[in-house]
Each structure stands twice: as structure tokens, then as C-alpha cells.
Amino acid sequence: MTMLLYSSLLFMVLVVGSPYWLVRMLTSGRYRAGLAGRLGRVPTTLQEGIAGRQVVWVHAVSVGELLAATRLVGELEAALGDGWRVVISTTTATGQALARERFGAERVFFYPLDFGWAVRAYLRALRPRLLVLMESELWPRMLTECERAGVPVAVVNARVSDRSFARGVRVRTIWGALLWRVTLFLTQSAADAQRLVAIGAHADKVRVAGNLKYDVRAPKRSRVAELIHEAAAGRRIVVAGSTVEGKPSHEEELVMQAMALVWNELPDVLFVLAPRHPDRFSYAYSLAAEFGVTSATELIGGKKVPTTARRTILLDTIGDLAAVYELANVAFVGGSLVKRGGHNPLEPAQFGVPVVMGGSYENFREIVETMRAEDAVRIVSAEELGPMLLELLTNSAEAQALGERGRRVFASKAGATERVVTELMELLR
């Protein structure tokens, strides 16, 4: 009865919202991409690729979750051996593009919308022995259909944000009914494990495995990073990664204001701006035009970056940010000056690059608080960002020490992938 009500409400949302979604699909590739697959049409290449093999299905919503899953997929495949195939789904188009680049298009697909027919189509086609969900992607129909089909579900790198916890406590009975359908939770931290139990998960299904994002491998060589390195021509580089929209100001505006202050003192600094979502590229390009801007796409096309002062490169490609972070003298990690929960500071910290963030970092609370305890990150307001960038650019000893402490934090927390693979193999026995 509960699932019937849920399905009816979901269908009503689809019908009522269909004019809006139709317009978005016609005007934005972000919403149009993979629609047939999302509605239950299983790609032929996917079915051909799993023929005669047992399947593990790994789902990663977008780029961040996919980066955390990359090493896990490789080590899980090594443990499984011949006769198995790990397939990967994503929700976002950016995640899909990166997954196809990392794993090959033949085993990557869009996660189905949470309608019974769409979910069942994939479960029938894949017949997975295990569904692995990265972090916190729980959909009622998917969990229900997996339970009916006898497919165990593991939530890996599980976390409970402040907002989710507050909501979960208020509706514990409803959350509990959902969480009970999960076979195993492998959490990032003890605090996440405690929160899961508090909002209704069975304590015997919750285990602490650590954070897979400490195990993210250094990126492969990137042509874009090489071109930016050439364009820098020895100049110092500031990278602002994963910037997002916000209120009252968008994060791109805030970091450009900070860079204007930096350029007043150090006009030769090269600035790399990397918005989180592709639909922000054109806005960011026009915003940076006042100071002189070149896009990564233009670099690939052969355009040269002038050696003039106050120069910005817009990183408008997917999957290159980690490699570009390695070039930075200082990195700002976005989603943190506005209330969006922040992004992963380990991406630059793994290279010993000094990291600066805003005060909104609840999506990576355990990581950031560990770094703060080791004095390995600088937390600033929008007004403080420019002065902090200047300080780190002009005080090389301080910047080097800060970056080295961040690198040590990254190195000291490794090992979650091995623990997760061990737990997943137990589920498959």
C-alpha cells in the first residue's frame, strides 16, 4: 500500500511537471541526455557486455561519487576475477561523461528513474548479484524491487549530512522503513554510523569502513593540465575548483572579487576557474572577461594565452580538475563560501597544495575537521579569501608547511577501499 501511494505520487509529479521537463529537455542537454535509459530502455551494448557473466552494479550519482568509486571498482574487479562484470550507473550527465572516459561506454549507463517498470527492466536485464550505492542515494522503489528480487544492497562510503539527520530524526519511522531494506551500510566515520542507527537503521547492518575519498588515486596525465602549465610560463597559479551558484552572490563572483585584490598586489598570478556544473561555464566566462579569459577548450583548439597580467583560464572540460589542482600554488575548494556543503579538499591536498575553503563544508565534515585539527586547511569568509590567498602566495614557507600537513592527513587515512572490498566479497559468498 505504501509503495502504491509512493508510485502514484511520483507519477503525479511526472505528469504535473512534464511541461517544465519538456522545455528543459528541449533546451538543455543536461536533462535530455539518457532519457530513454532513465525510463527503462536498457542499452544493447550493456546487455552484450554482461553476456555469460555475473554482475555487480555500482551506482555513483555524479563526479564526486564516481571519483571515490574508481579505485573501488578496479580492486573489486581484481578480487572477483574472471566471469564477473562490474557495471556503473550515474545520475548526472557530467558523471556519465567521466564514467565513460574512465570505464568505457559499454558498461556505463544512466540510473533509472524510480518507477517500477524502469527499475524492473534493469534488474531483469542485469540480474545483479549485488547493488552498491555510493554515499546516500536511496530510492524506495529500487530498494523494494531489489528486496523482491533477492538482490542485496550495500551503501558504501555512507554518510548522513546535518540536513538529512535533522529530517530523519523527525520522520524516523518512515526513514526506518527505507533503511531496513538495505543489507549493509559501510560508513565514512563513527559519527555517520551513529546517525544512521539514530534515524532507524539496524545497528547490526552498520559498520565503519572509513572514507574512500582518502584512497583517491592521483589522476592520469591530462592534456588540459599540460596546456595550462605551458600557459603559466612560470607564473604562480591559483585554482578555484567546483564553484557553484549561491545567494545573494554566486561563488564565481566572490572568487573573482578575491582575485581582483590579489592582482592589485601580484598582477602576474594566473587564475584557473573551474565551475562545478557545465551549465555555469558561459556565465563564468563572461564574468571573467573583464580581466581577460581563455577557456580550456580554446587551449585545446590551439589558442595561446597572452602573458599579460590578470589572466583567467576557465576550466570548461570534465575530469581534468584533479590534474589541474596539482599545478596550483594555492587551491580554493568551492561549494563552501555559499551554503552548499562544500566539495572535497583532499583533491588538492593529496599533492601538498595548500587548501582554502569557506565555512560551509558539512558534506565533507569528517575530512575538513580532521584537516583543521592538524592545521592543514584555512577556513575563511568571502571577505577573508583575497587576503588569505595573498598571504599564501607571498609567504612560501607558510604555504609549503600548510600543504605538507594536508598531504600527511591524506596519506594517513588511506585503507578504506581494502576494507570495503573485503565486506562486499563477504556479501557475495
State the catalytic residues.
65
Spatial contact of 288 and 260, defined as CB atoms under 8 Å apart: no
**Residue 304 in 3-state DSSP?**
coil
The β-bridge partners of 132 are 58, 154
Backbone φ and ψ for 242, nearest 5 degrees, come out as: 60, 40
Backbone φ and ψ for 187, nearest 5 degrees, come out as: -90, 160
Q: Which residues contact 147 (CB under 8 A, 6 or more apart)?
A: 153, 181
Calpha distance 244→247 (Å, rounded):
10
Residue with C-alpha cell 610560463?
Answer: 233
**Residue 334 in 3-state DSSP?**
coil
Spatial contact of 349 and 356, defined as CB atoms under 8 Å apart: no
DSSP letters for 112-173: PPS-HHHHHHHHHHH--SEEEEETT---HHHHHHHHHHT--EEEEEE---HHHHHHHHHTHH
